[in-house]
Amino acid sequence: MRLSLGEAERLLAAAFAGAGVPGAVAASVARALVAADAEGQSGHGFSRVADYVAQVRSGKVRAGAGIAVTRSATTVATVDAGYGFAYPALDRATALAAEIAQEHGSAVVAVARSHHCGALSVQVDRIARAGCLGIMVANAPAAIAPWGAKTPLYGTNPIAFAAPRPDGSTFVADLSLSRVARGKVMNARKTGQPIPADWALDRDGAPTTDPEAALAGSMLPIGGAKGTVLALMVEILAAVLPGASLSREASSFFDAEGPPPGTGQTLIAIRPPDPAAFGARLERLFALLLAEEGARLPGARRDATRAEAERDGLVLSEPYLTQIRRLAGVGD
C-alpha cells in the first residue's frame, strides 16, 4: 500500500501511542522512522516498529523518560535521554547544537543513556538546514571485531556529515563503518532473504549469506583494518566522551531482552564564518567532482529517493502494514 509521508507518520505514531508511548514522543519517533524510509534506509524505518513496541512494553525503552540538558562549557552540552527513545533527545540536541554554533561559531553536544538513533542523515540534515556544518557519530551494540579478532567489540558506529548549499538544499553523507548497516541484515532475516557474502561473518569467522548466522557473528568493516580504527575513534567520541555504554556493554537494539542499551551519540556543529564564500567554494568543489567522468555526488541517490517519496508517498509492504495496523488498532 502506498501512503503519503504524513499518513505514514500518523499511522506509526498511533502504533506507538497504542503501546503507551506519550504523544509527543510517539510523533518524534514516527517522524524519524518515516524520514529514514523516505531516504531508502529501510533498516531504520518501518522494520523497527515492532521491535520498538516490544521494548517499550518490556521496559527496555523508557518511553516517558524526561530529557535533561547540562551545559559544561559555553559551547559544550550533554543531553541525557534517560534510557528513553533517542529521537526526542536528538530533537533537542540538534536544535541546541545549531543554536550554540550560530552564536559562538561551533558546538559539541553529546547524548548519553540513549537508544537506537536510526538514520544519522536525518539529524545532520537539520543542522545543515540551520546554516551550519553538521557532524554526527554514534555507537551501537557490538557487531564489528577488532582487525584479526573474531569477537565483536565495536558497533557499526556510523558517521554522518552535512553542509548547507547556497540554494537552500543540503549535502549529506551518511555511512556505517560496517560494509552495510546491521539493520539491513535484520531486515533480510525478517523478510526471509539471503544477504551478499561480503556483508558479514559467522561465529567461526567465515563469510555467510545467512542473516541469522551473520547476526550471531560479526559484520565486516569498510576498508579492512582502517575501518576498525575508525570504529574505535567513533567509540571514543560517542560512548566514552558522554559516558554512555560501550558497544560491548550495550544490549541489543533488536529484541526486548535485558536492560536499556544506554548507547551514545555526539554531534558537532560549525557555522561557516563567511556563509556566502563557503557556499561558493563548496559549489566549485562539487562542480570539479561532477566534471569527472563517471563520478556522482554522494547522497544524490538519497536526495532522489526522498524527493520521490515526498511526491508519490511510500510503499509499505504487506507484512509491515498488517503488523503496524494491528499495533495502531486500525482495521483493514
Let me know whether 3 and 132 are in one domain. no
What is the pLDDT confidence band of residue 136, given thresholds at 50, 70 and 90? Answer: very high
How many domains does one find in the chain? 3
Let me know whether 150 and 131 are in one domain. yes
Residues 206-242: tens digit of each pLDDT: 999 999 999 989 999 999 999 999 999 999 999 999 9
| Residues 157/127/16/214 CA torsion (nearest 10 deg) | -20
Q: Which domain holds residue 69?
A: 65-178+221-272
pLDDT, averaged across the chain: 95
Tell me: pLDDT of 175 over 60: yes
| Burial label, 2 (beta-carbon count in 10 A; 0-12, 13-18, 19+) | exposed
Let me know whether 99 and 143 are in one domain. yes
* Confidence at residue 332, expressed as pLDDT on a 0 to 100 scale: 56
> What phi and psi values does residue 269 have, to the nearest 5 degrees?
-120, 135
Residue 197: how many other CB atoms lie within 10 Å: 12
Average pLDDT, integer, range 13-30: 97
- How many helices and strands, by DSSP H and E, does the chain display? 11, 11
In this structure, is residue 289 part of a structural domain? no
Let me know whether 13 and 76 are in one domain. no
In this structure, is residue 149 part of a structural domain? yes
* Confidence at residue 319, expressed as pLDDT on a 0 to 100 scale: 83
Of residues 120 and 205, more confidence is placed in: 120
Residue 222: how many other CB atoms lie within 10 Å: 18
In this structure, is residue 315 part of a structural domain? yes
119 three-state secondary structure: coil
Q: Of 191, 213, 235, which marks where a domain is finished?
A: 213
| Burial label, 329 (beta-carbon count in 10 A; 0-12, 13-18, 19+) | exposed
CATH of residue 323: 1.10.1530.10
* Confidence at residue 237, expressed as pLDDT on a 0 to 100 scale: 98
In this structure, is residue 282 part of a structural domain? no
Let me know whether 173 and 193 are in one domain. no
Let me know whether 174 and 127 are in one domain. yes
pTM of the complete model: 0.92
Let me know whether 166 and 21 are in one domain. no
Let me know whether 229 and 123 are in one domain. yes
Let me know whether 74 and 106 are in one domain. yes
Let me know whether 266 and 122 are in one domain. yes
Give the E-state strand segments of the chain in sequence order.
Answer: 2-3, 68-73, 76-80, 106-114, 133-138, 159-164, 170-175, 200-201, 218-219, 263-270, 314-315
Residues 141-174: tens digit of each pLDDT: 999 999 988 899 999 999 999 999 999 999 999 9
Let me know whether 140 and 238 are in one domain. yes
Is 151:289 a contact under the CB 8 Å cutoff? Answer: no
CATH of residue 185: 3.30.60.50
In this structure, is residue 279 part of a structural domain? no
Using CA atoms, how far apart are residues 251 and 136, in angstroms rounded to an integer? 22
Let me know whether 162 and 30 are in one domain. no
